Amino acid sequence: MQCVCPFSEVFSFCWVKNSLICPWCIYFRMISKTKSSVSSPSLSIISRNPNHYQKGKTHLLLSSPRKAWPSLSNHIKWEGLRVIRGKKLLKDLSTWGIGGPCDHFLQVFTHSQLLSALRYCREHSIPFIIVGKGSNCLFDDLGYDGCVIQNRIEFLERNEPGIYRAGSGFPFNRLGVQSSSEGYTGLEFAGGIPGTVGGAVYMNAGANGQETAGVVHGVEFVTTEGRFQSLNRTDLKFGYRLSPFQNMKNLAAIVAVTFQLKHSASARRMQQQYLERRRLSQPVGEQSAGSVFRNPSNLGVTAGELIERAGLKGYKVGGAMVSNIHANFFINSGQSTSQDMLELIRLVKEKVYQRFGVQLKEEVLYVHPHGNV
């Protein structure tokens, strides 16, 4: 199944019943049927179709769609993995601070643990997603009726000058700061992106005239059959917020990336300038998911500028608000629900389209509690 997701700073994939599905994609689907006896709430996946989100159906359900585990422990061990059931709140995994409990939660710190986690979900017929820093996810208040695997493969190796090999769960901003501080250019922009290395490569993250693809030397990944493979830069074709991994049908997860950087005496200074620019132009310290919409192509205007010209800075729906600092950042101003944020996104899209005739496309992903549309 082809992935058409526009952008993400999170590392997420889903594999259910031998079908690979990427939940970065705005058209996120799950093949598995919901196990819940409670009917699905009237929600819609954030879509490129402006009519996909149904007006008038923004009900907030306060109960969980999952049944309790009355006779089972909330913690189990499986092949050395600690699986938490029904207790992990997804708001703790999201920079938006929104999201209810998931059925199963576990962390993986090595390649072998990732394979064990995938095997656990397959053998128990549990739908799953893999997340990193949660900097681009909107989880539902009802949580997720499946397994959330947090990628903590965070090693960093420097075997040669300018050559960095990082685990896919390594913080991308830390890599940007560290490589720049050591005098190497190419990832100065990364210091302001709170995602993971895997997510940055998967979506070819970029800013300030730089992009991840410019310094990627090689990518290691695991397939749905459990085989480890690697590709060199010459075998990889990137585009604006695009990578070949989005169309790779047998991809389970990126596990490691090698970057080739060049020495530069000004790298540290440039990285600090980028961070200062970000501090002044973005709502740093607020609960946000970064840019909500992609910048329209070939218009010479950013999504944030369109939203601001539409007079929407400071616009609120419940606890969700368009930032007064950067209009393409939507913040949780306090106790925002997933429904608040979904409605704010819908209204902003609608008003920008009515005013300018431009259909904004989301960068963020809404994860449905049952994993289906």
Are residues 231 and 213 located together in one domain of the fold? yes
Q: Which amino acid makes up residue 66?
A: R
Would you say residue 276 lies in a domain?
Answer: no
Per-residue pLDDT of 217-239, as tens digits, reads: 999 998 877 789 999 999 999 98
Q: Which of 151, 173, 191 is the last residue of a domain?
A: 151
Would you say residue 61 lies in a domain?
Answer: no
Q: Which of 131, 151, 171 is the last residue of a domain?
A: 151
Would you say residue 171 lies in a domain?
Answer: yes
Per-residue pLDDT of 293-341, as tens digits, reads: 988 988 889 999 999 999 999 999 999 999 999 999 999 998 999 999 9
Are residues 211 and 227 located together in one domain of the fold? yes
Q: What is the pLDDT of residue 73?
A: 56
* Distance, CA of 62 to CA of 35 (rounded, Å): 18
* Distance, CA of 18 to CA of 250 (rounded, Å): 10
Are residues 98 and 184 located together in one domain of the fold? no
Would you say residue 242 lies in a domain?
Answer: yes
Q: Which amino acid makes up residue 288?
A: S
- Give the pLDDT band of residue 252 (cuts 50, 70, 90): confident
Neighbour tally for 100: CB within 10 Å: 22
Q: Which of 128, 151, 174 is the last residue of a domain?
A: 151
* Distance, CA of 186 to CA of 113 (rounded, Å): 31
Are residues 221 and 297 located together in one domain of the fold? no
Asked if 360 contacts 293 with a C-beta cutoff of 8 angstroms, the reply is yes
Per-residue pLDDT of 134-173, as tens digits, reads: 888 899 999 999 999 999 999 999 989 999 999 999 999 9
Closest CA to 371 of 90, 132, 169, 112: 90
Q: What is the pLDDT of residue 172?
A: 95
The CATH number for 324's domain is 3.90.78.10
For strand 320-322 and strand 316-317, is the pairing parallel, antiparallel, or unpaired?
antiparallel
Residues in the chain: 373
Q: Which amino acid makes up residue 348?
A: V
Give the number of domains in the chain: 3
Quote the crossing angle between the two packed helices 172-181 and 267-281, to the nearest 10°.
140
Task: Name the phi and psi angles at 316, rounded to 5.
Answer: -125, 145
Q: What is the pLDDT of residue 287?
A: 92
The CATH number for 239's domain is 3.30.465.10
Closest CA to 87 of 76, 73, 103: 103
Q: Which residue has the higher pLDDT, 100 or 2?
A: 100
Q: What is the pLDDT of residue 371?
A: 67
According to the 3-state scheme, what is the secondary structure of the chain? CCCCCCCCCCCCCEEECCEEECCCCCCCCCCCCCCCCCCCCCCCCCCCCCCCCCCCCCCCCCCCCCCCCCCCCCEEEECCEEEEECCCEHHHHCCCCCCCEEEEEEEECCHHHHHHHHHHHHHCCCCEEEECCCCCEEECCCCEEEEEEEECCCCEEEEECCEEEEECCCEHHHHHHHHHHCCEECCHHHHHCCCEHHHHHHHCCEECCEEHHHHEEEEEEEECCCCEEEEEHHHCCCECCECHHHHCCCEEEEEEEEEECEECCCHHHHHHHHHHHHHHHCCCCCCEEEECECCCCCCCCCHHHHHHHCCCCCCEECCEEECCCCCCEEEECCCCCHHHHHHHHHHHHHHHHHHHCCCCCECCEEECCCCCC
Are residues 247 and 211 located together in one domain of the fold? yes
Asked if 329 contacts 290 with a C-beta cutoff of 8 angstroms, the reply is yes
The CATH number for 95's domain is 3.30.43.10
Task: Name the phi and psi angles at 105, rounded to 5.
Answer: -145, 140
Domain that includes residue 306, residue range: 284-367
Would you say residue 341 lies in a domain?
Answer: yes
Read off the tokens for 44.
């819609």
Per-residue pLDDT of 334-370, as tens digits, reads: 899 999 999 999 999 999 999 999 999 998 888 999 8
Q: Average pLDDT, whole number, for the chain?
A: 80
Would you say residue 21 lies in a domain?
Answer: no
Per-residue pLDDT of 7-34, as tens digits, reads: 333 333 333 333 333 433 333 333 333 3
Would you say residue 322 lies in a domain?
Answer: yes
Are residues 183 and 234 located together in one domain of the fold? yes
- Give the pLDDT band of residue 216 (cuts 50, 70, 90): very high
Are residues 198 and 230 located together in one domain of the fold? yes
Q: What is the pLDDT of residue 9?
A: 36
Cα 34 to its chain centre, rounded Å, is: 23
Are residues 185 and 236 located together in one domain of the fold? yes
Is pLDDT above 80 for 72? Answer: no
Are residues 205 and 300 located together in one domain of the fold? no
Percentage of the chain modeled with pLDDT above 90: 54
